Every structure is written in C-alpha cells, then in structure tokens.
Amino acid sequence: MSESENPSFESINTRLKEIQAAVEDDDMPLDDALSLFEEAVQLGMQASSLLEEGIAQGGAPEGDEVGAPGIEESVASDGERSL
C-alpha cells in the first residue's frame, strides 16, 4: 500500500504539526479551518489505531522507533507505577 493509503505514525505526526501551524493563522477562513480540523480528527484516529496495533504487537508503531517522546514509565521497588 502507498504512504497515502497507509501512512506511518511519523507522517501523520508531521501533517498534524502542519495543520497546527496553519490554523494558528488568524486570517484563515473559517471554512478552511473547519476542513483542516476534520482532517486532523481523521489523522488522530489513524494515529490511535497505529499505536494500538503497535502495543498489541509489543513494539513501537511504524515510523516511531523510540516510542512516545517525553513519556517515561518506571516501576518503583514496591511495584507501584509512576510516570
């Protein structure tokens, strides 16, 4: 499948950042902002599916070799989890 039919997590993340930058423009027409919002929602659902697949397979999703940046989980000696 092509990248547009089955995008990687990294390409979805890149596009979401582009959308974020675009909607920060105060001069953007409302219709354009709404279209970008709808695209972002779809991309978010695709990213969520990729993450769920990666978790189910016991690894990081395609295009995200190191996992989610900035989130670290540790298990204390008493077995309690902390972020």
CA–CA separation, 23 vs 30, rounded Å? 10
Residue ranges per structural domain of the chain: 9-82
**Six-digit token string for 57:** 């397979």
Helices (H), 24-80: 30-56
- From first to last of its 83 residues, the chain has per-residue pLDDT tens of 445 567 899 999 999 999 999 999 889 999 999 999 999 999 999 999 999 988 888 865 555 555 545 444 445 555 555 55
**Six-digit token string for 79:** 């077995």
SS3 17: helix
Q: What does pTM read for this prediction?
A: 0.61
